[in-house]
Amino acid sequence: MILDIPDEFIDWRAKGFWLPDGRVSAREFAAAGHSLFDGSFTWPLLVVRDSAVRANIATMAAYAQRHGFSFAPHAKTSMAPTLLEAQLQAGAWAQTVATASQALVLRRLGVPRIVIANEVLDATALSWLAGQDDVLLQVDSVAGVEAVARAGGLAVLIEIGHAGGRTGCRTVEEVKVVARAAAGAPGVRLLGVTAYEGGLQTAEAVDDFLQTQIAAVREIAHLLPEEVIVSGGGSAWFDRVVKAIEGQWLPGHTVRAVLRSGASITHDEGFYRQRTPFNRVAAEGSLTAALQIYAQVLSIPEPGLAIVGMGKRDAPFDEGLPVTPGGEVVKLNDHHTYVRSTTLAVGDLVRFGLSHPCTAFDKWRFIPVADDNDVVVDVLHTYF
């Protein structure tokens, strides 16, 4: 074991678990051999499938290794220590987070190297981060560099972004300005350039953006150390990232290419099922959806419409609605799902696949991990 994973207690506060009296540790619960359907749970219930997660972790570890990439998966997908541990055991070089609070969680768990794929300007957080070893964060402005310097200095990556995107310098010229500021700021160590291409819609746009990133690295190479970090990779275009930045293409330097794809750990049955790079490079591997929600039909108030006891507080809906072989999900309320179906009946238990794992885990404090026989083999606890 790499991480120091607390053994949390499950009691009446744990959604989906049925423990009206007393409490039990997560490890004890997992060791008891409960079935998903033996009365230990109530509905709705989010479930992680053990075999799918293990296969996905192995697939991405092998993919990164095959292409000479260091893998720094985005921990913010799950914020579940057991899953982070499994990725580190599989050879992950680092874990990536989005906020200083998430970095604090990972450091307390014992994650040895943390990448913050975001700007941090809060002086309180920066002062703490400056005292930590092996933490990298992003900057996209001179003001950001100055904030890092005032806190005592940190290792930084300059972020390059694209028009209409989120953070990041919009041009190579802006990268050069920020790089000069970082190179001259006390305590600030400039290690490379990072980008996020996931918001782009076409392969051509992604390729153009990544070429701009490479151009930026070349322009500031004289300010960079011998080993240069070049980072990218959401979960929709990581094949294009690999094609663009793999190999040793920067004379006088060693390129450490870092892939950050995080949603791959559980994949999904919606957004990423349609967009996974393995649809384009099938020979490289495949991912399997590992998240499911079980919920019960509460009412058939009119012909062809089933109302299921699951809603926005339980399932992600920002990148597509849940799916089920029992019908078509057409709408979610806070606690109800509308399913067009001619086969469902009141009381039926329905399995739903989900779209976008990054907004699924944060809705659940404890999540059972089940094997292919529906026996619970682990209990995840999340830290959002």
E strand residue ranges, 207-259: 227-232, 254-259
Q: Do 36 and 108 have their domain in common?
A: no
CB atoms within 10 A of CB 166: 13
Domain membership flag for residue 309: yes
Residue 274 lies in a domain: no
Co-location of 17 and 102 in the same domain: no
Q: Is residue 281 part of a domain?
A: no
Which of 94, 96, 104, 58 is closest to 74 using CA atoms? Answer: 96
Give the residue from 213, 237, 268 where a domain finishes. Answer: 268
Co-location of 342 and 258 in the same domain: no
Asked if 216 and 264 sit in the same domain, the reply is yes
In the chain, what is the greatest distance between 2 CA atoms, to the nearest angstrom?
71
The C-alpha atoms of residue 153 and residue 135 are separated, in whole angstroms, by 11
Residue in the structure block whose two tokens are 């580190």: 88
CB atoms near residue 359 (< 10 Å): 15
Is 279 contained in some domain?
Answer: no
Give the CATH number for residue 196.
3.20.20.10
Q: Which residues contact 159 (CB under 8 A, 6 or more apart)?
A: 119, 138, 139, 140, 167, 168, 169, 193, 194, 195, 196
Domain range holding 306?
A: 9-49+287-381
Cα–Cα distance, 340 to 326 (Å, whole number)? 9
Assess whether 92 and 164 both reside in one domain: yes
Do 164 and 32 belong together in one domain?
no
Residues 34 and 62 in one domain: no
Residue 364 lies in a domain: yes
Do residues 40 and 140 both lie within one domain? no
Same domain, 181 and 315: no
Domain assignment present for 280: no
**The model's pTM:** 0.95
Domains: count for the chain: 2
- Confirm whether 37 is domain-assigned: yes
Count the Cβ atoms, other than its own, within 10 Å of residue 7: 11
Domain boundary among 268, 295, 315: 268
Residues 175 and 117 in one domain: yes
Residues 260 and 123 in one domain: yes
- Residue among 378, 334, 329, 376 nearest 350 (CA): 329
Residue 316: which CATH number?
2.40.37.20
Domain boundary among 234, 268, 302: 268
319 & 264 share domain: no
Q: Are 43 and 295 in contact (CB under 8 A)?
A: yes
| pLDDT tens, N- to C-terminus, the chain (384 residues) | 789 999 999 999 999 999 999 999 999 999 999 999 999 999 999 999 999 999 999 999 999 999 999 999 999 999 999 999 999 999 999 999 999 999 999 999 999 999 999 999 999 999 999 999 999 999 999 999 999 999 999 999 999 999 999 999 999 999 999 999 999 999 999 999 999 998 999 999 999 999 999 999 999 999 999 999 999 988 999 999 999 999 999 999 999 999 999 999 999 999 999 999 999 999 999 999 999 999 999 999 999 999 999 999 999 999 999 999 989 999 999 999 999 999 999 999 999 999 999 999 999 999 999 999 999 999 999 999
